[in-house]
Amino acid sequence: MSGVKDYFFCIYISGISKENQEIILKFKGLANKKLSGRYFLEVIDILEHPELAKKSKLWLLLLLLKKSPTQYKKQF
């Protein structure tokens, strides 16, 4: 393997928390499974480095929460 990464991802977080760490680990697990390690992940804490968010022209963080249905049922 040449070490060249095919995909570049950047996750912006607002502070280090247990939840953020879990999400990053889940993302890495999924990316390793689906992309076989051919990715680079950069994690930027906008509370520590607001200038990086500004440089990326990031001015809004969106959050999507699934509220209903509470249980997932496979349909197939």
- In angstroms, the CA 44 to CA 49 distance is 7
CA 4 to the chain's CA centroid: 20
Fold for the domain defined by 7-55: Macrophage Migration Inhibitory Factor (3.30.429)
SS3 10: strand
pTM, to two decimals: 0.64
Report residue 8 as tokens: 């570049």
Contact of 9 with 40, CB cutoff 8 Å: yes
Residues of the chain with pLDDT under 70: 1-3, 59-76
* Per-residue pLDDT reduced to its tens digit, 16-35: 889 889 989 999 999 999 99
Supply the pLDDT for residue 33: 92
Burial of 70 (0-12, 13-18, 19+ CB in 10 A): exposed
